[in-house]
Amino acid sequence: MITVGYFLIAFGAFFYFLGGLGILRMPDVYNRLQAGTKATTLGSFSVILGVGLVNLDYLPKALVIIAFIALTNPVGSSVLARASYLKGIKPTDKTKVDEYKGGDEK
Protein backbone atom coordinates (compact mmCIF):
# COMPACT_ATOMS: atom_id res chain seq x y z
CA MET A 1 0.00 0.00 0.00
CA ILE A 2 2.79 2.40 0.95
CA THR A 3 4.65 1.62 -2.27
CA VAL A 4 1.52 2.34 -4.30
CA GLY A 5 1.14 5.61 -2.40
CA TYR A 6 4.70 6.72 -3.17
CA PHE A 7 4.25 5.70 -6.80
CA LEU A 8 1.10 7.84 -6.98
CA ILE A 9 2.94 10.81 -5.44
CA ALA A 10 5.70 10.48 -8.05
CA PHE A 11 3.08 10.15 -10.79
CA GLY A 12 1.36 13.32 -9.57
CA ALA A 13 4.65 15.20 -9.41
CA PHE A 14 5.31 14.19 -13.02
CA PHE A 15 1.92 15.59 -14.05
CA TYR A 16 2.65 18.80 -12.16
CA PHE A 17 5.84 19.01 -14.19
CA LEU A 18 3.86 18.49 -17.40
CA GLY A 19 1.46 21.24 -16.35
CA GLY A 20 4.34 23.65 -15.79
CA LEU A 21 5.89 22.67 -19.10
CA GLY A 22 2.54 23.24 -20.81
CA ILE A 23 2.26 26.73 -19.35
CA LEU A 24 5.73 27.44 -20.69
CA ARG A 25 5.24 25.95 -24.16
CA MET A 26 1.59 26.45 -25.15
CA PRO A 27 0.87 29.24 -27.63
CA ASP A 28 -2.11 31.14 -26.16
CA VAL A 29 -4.13 31.76 -23.01
CA TYR A 30 -6.68 29.03 -23.58
CA ASN A 31 -4.19 26.26 -24.22
CA ARG A 32 -2.12 27.37 -21.26
CA LEU A 33 -5.22 27.39 -19.10
CA GLN A 34 -5.97 23.85 -20.19
CA ALA A 35 -2.44 22.70 -19.44
CA GLY A 36 -2.41 24.52 -16.13
CA THR A 37 -5.68 23.10 -14.89
CA LYS A 38 -6.16 19.70 -16.50
CA ALA A 39 -2.69 18.37 -15.85
CA THR A 40 -2.53 19.76 -12.34
CA THR A 41 -5.98 18.40 -11.52
CA LEU A 42 -4.74 14.89 -12.22
CA GLY A 43 -1.48 15.71 -10.44
CA SER A 44 -3.31 16.90 -7.33
CA PHE A 45 -5.58 13.85 -7.36
CA SER A 46 -2.61 11.49 -7.50
CA VAL A 47 -0.54 13.31 -4.89
CA ILE A 48 -3.41 13.61 -2.41
CA LEU A 49 -4.53 10.02 -2.94
CA GLY A 50 -0.92 8.90 -2.58
CA VAL A 51 -0.60 10.72 0.73
CA GLY A 52 -3.85 9.10 1.84
CA LEU A 53 -2.51 5.65 0.94
CA VAL A 54 0.85 6.18 2.62
CA ASN A 55 -0.87 7.18 5.86
CA LEU A 56 -4.27 5.52 5.98
CA ASP A 57 -5.49 7.89 8.70
CA TYR A 58 -5.63 10.65 6.11
CA LEU A 59 -7.54 8.64 3.51
CA PRO A 60 -11.10 9.94 4.23
CA LYS A 61 -9.85 13.51 4.37
CA ALA A 62 -7.91 12.97 1.15
CA LEU A 63 -11.02 11.69 -0.63
CA VAL A 64 -12.99 14.74 0.54
CA ILE A 65 -10.25 17.06 -0.70
CA ILE A 66 -10.28 15.27 -4.06
CA ALA A 67 -14.05 15.80 -4.29
CA PHE A 68 -13.60 19.51 -3.55
CA ILE A 69 -10.90 19.88 -6.19
CA ALA A 70 -13.10 18.06 -8.70
CA LEU A 71 -15.89 20.53 -7.93
CA THR A 72 -13.91 23.77 -7.93
CA ASN A 73 -11.07 23.42 -10.43
CA PRO A 74 -13.16 23.09 -13.63
CA VAL A 75 -15.41 25.97 -12.56
CA GLY A 76 -12.41 28.23 -11.96
CA SER A 77 -10.77 27.46 -15.28
CA SER A 78 -14.07 27.86 -17.15
CA VAL A 79 -14.68 31.26 -15.56
CA LEU A 80 -11.13 32.38 -16.39
CA ALA A 81 -11.41 31.21 -20.00
CA ARG A 82 -14.79 32.91 -20.49
CA ALA A 83 -13.59 36.16 -18.92
CA SER A 84 -10.50 36.29 -21.11
CA TYR A 85 -12.57 35.50 -24.23
CA LEU A 86 -15.12 38.22 -23.48
CA LYS A 87 -12.26 40.63 -22.71
CA GLY A 88 -11.19 40.15 -26.33
CA ILE A 89 -8.08 37.96 -26.11
CA LYS A 90 -7.71 36.16 -29.42
CA PRO A 91 -6.85 32.49 -29.75
CA THR A 92 -3.80 31.56 -31.85
CA ASP A 93 -4.01 31.39 -35.64
CA LYS A 94 -3.88 27.61 -35.47
CA THR A 95 -7.32 27.52 -33.83
CA LYS A 96 -9.86 26.43 -36.45
CA VAL A 97 -13.13 26.02 -34.53
CA ASP A 98 -14.61 28.75 -32.36
CA GLU A 99 -18.03 27.73 -31.13
CA TYR A 100 -18.30 30.58 -28.66
CA LYS A 101 -18.11 33.36 -31.26
CA GLY A 102 -19.90 36.52 -30.08
CA GLY A 103 -20.41 35.31 -26.53
CA ASP A 104 -23.62 33.73 -25.36
CA GLU A 105 -26.98 35.33 -26.15
CA LYS A 106 -27.96 38.25 -24.00
Binding-site ranges for other proteins (CB under 8 A): 68, 71-72, 74-75, 78-79, 82, 103-104, 106
Q: Whole-number minimum distance, CB 1 to other proteins, in Å?
A: 21
User: In this complex, which beta carbon is closest to other proteins, that of residue 78 or of residue 92?
Assistant: 78
Query: Three-state SS for 96?
Result: coil
Q: Quick one: which of 38, 43, 36 has its CA closest to 10?
A: 43
Q: How far is the CB of 75 from other proteins (least distance, A)?
A: 5
3-class DSSP state for residue 98?
Answer: coil
Q: Which is nearer to other proteins, 7 or 68 (CB)?
A: 68
Distance of alpha carbon 51 from alpha carbon 49, whole angstroms: 5
Closest contact distance (angstroms) between CB of 81 and other proteins is: 10
**Shortest approach of other proteins to residue 50 CB, angstroms?**
18
Helix H or strand E encompassing 94: none
Q: Is 45 exposed, middle or buried (0-12, 13-18, 19+ CB in 10 A)?
A: buried
In this complex, which beta carbon is closest to other proteins, that of residue 94 or of residue 106?
106
